[in-house]
Amino acid sequence: MASTMTEERALSPGEVPETQALTERPQEWAQNLNIHLVCADCKEYPPNLVEEFASGDTVCGSCGLVLQSHVVDTRSEWRTFSNDDQGNDDPSRIGEAANPLLNGSQLSTTIAYGQGDARSRDLNRAQNRANADKTTKALLAAYKQIGTLCDSYHLSHSVADTARQLYKMTDDTKAFKGKSQDAIIASTIFISCRQNNVPRTFKEITSLTKVPKKEIGRTFKALEKFFQKHTQSTVAKNETYTTTTSTKAQDLCGRYCSGLDLPQQISVIAGEYADEMIKAGLLAGRSPLSIAAVSIYMMSHLMGMPKTPKEISLVAGVSDGTIRTAYRHIFEDRKALIKPVWLEKGGNMDLLPQA
Ligand SMILES: [Zn+2]
């Protein structure tokens, strides 16, 4: 009889008998969702249950027997305060988070127009006049200007936000009071671009903000010095201001190449070539703009997608004459600097224009 109950077979090494495996594994606790709460007296199914939140009981709706106490109230805990949009669910218990870019806690009272009678209107006006915060208004105007400028240049939100933060720093200390507002905004955008690794040239910021290049340069220098000093003394240690490094030719290649509809491959090669030229000491003293431009000129020819100096000059903002002159300087050293890998990728030295 025992042989019919237990099936006997040889176990392979390491294998646990089935019954043993079941008992040994501790069962994870889980709520048994199969339990129905039914009134013991009425035994109705489905049960007629009433949840009484005031007392925290679950009560049988038919006979009144308390079936469960200490019920957890799972309803939303907010209360609706706004009377003006009754009928709509208004789950807001709180206002917006305080904007760190503005001063103060931004908690304010507004007097409503009410029925629109003269007294409430006068009260509203009087309160508005008392509350007109001039510094906040000026800040908001500056932030808006930064936002508009960054938007018009397709700069990301993080660039705009960094610029706003920098602007707030200058505004807080009043160190630049009386200086041209436009120049400060232009410089903060310039620094912000560098800090966010999307460097723009002074020339580009000038064409964006209409602030003369010289003025941006001067304000930029003063601001950078100020930020360094300011963050050292006041801001927490982990929030130190890192001085921006000047724009590298390599950083510009990517943007210029995309402006010229050149593929990513050429942009990378042009960047590397620009780097090689700088390392070799070629074109020393020339601006990163012209180094990037001439590198793109040469590499676009090498890779068989030639661009004329004129086309490049429109994107890079340097004259085509500058590109031609620079090309004459670097043409001699091409053999030493062009990497064999590029030739394997389809580069051809014979395609290079003669200088
Ligand atoms: Zn009942």
Q: What is the pLDDT of residue 148?
A: 93
Please tell me the distance between residue 48's alpha carbon and the centre of ligand 1 in angstroms: 8
3-state secondary structure 160-185: HHHHHHHHHHHHHHCCCCCCCHHHHH
The answer to whether residue 95 is domain-embedded is no
The answer to whether residue 123 is domain-embedded is no
Strand partners, 50: 59
The answer to whether residue 162 is domain-embedded is yes
Q: What is the pLDDT of residue 188?
A: 92
- Characterise 106 by phi-psi region: left (phi > 0), alpha (psi -120 to 50), beta (else): left
Phi, psi for residue 60 in degrees, rounded to 5: -70, 125
The answer to whether residue 309 is domain-embedded is yes
Domain hosting 292: range is 249-351
Please tell me the distance between residue 49's alpha carbon and the centre of ligand 1 in angstroms: 9
Q: Do residues 200 and 264 share a domain?
A: no
Which pLDDT tens digit goes with each residue over 191-236? 998 888 888 888 889 988 899 989 998 998 898 888 888 776 554 4
Please tell me the distance between residue 65's alpha carbon and the centre of ligand 1 in angstroms: 6
Quickly state the pLDDT bin for 339 (edges 50, 70, 90): confident
The answer to whether residue 193 is domain-embedded is yes
pLDDT at 247 over 80: no
pLDDT at 316 over 90: no
Q: Do residues 145 and 232 share a domain?
A: yes
Which pLDDT tens digit goes with each residue over 67-117? 888 888 777 666 555 555 555 555 555 666 777 888 776 677 777 776 777
* Residue after which a domain boundary falls, among 239, 257, 285: 239
Q: Distance between CA 347 and CA 266 in Å, rounded?
A: 10
The answer to whether residue 262 is domain-embedded is yes
* Residue after which a domain boundary falls, among 212, 239, 266: 239
| End-to-end Cα distance, the chain | 104
* Residue after which a domain boundary falls, among 239, 261, 277: 239
Which pLDDT tens digit goes with each residue over 122-154? 888 887 777 666 777 888 899 999 999 999 988
Q: Distance between CA 125 and CA 127 in Å, rounded?
A: 5
Q: Across the chain, what does the average pLDDT equal?
A: 80
Q: Do residues 212 and 278 share a domain?
A: no
The answer to whether residue 118 is domain-embedded is no
CATH code for the domain of 171: 1.10.472.10
Q: Distance between CA 51 and CA 39 in Å, rounded?
A: 13
Please tell me the distance between residue 60's alpha carbon and the centre of ligand 1 in angstroms: 5
Residues within 5 A (CB) of ion ligand 1: 39, 41-42, 60, 62-63, 65
Q: What is the pLDDT of residue 54?
A: 83
Q: What domain count does the chain have?
A: 2
81 or 298, higher pLDDT: 298
Q: Do residues 235 and 281 share a domain?
A: no
**Shortest CA distance to 184 belongs to which of 222, 144, 235?**
222
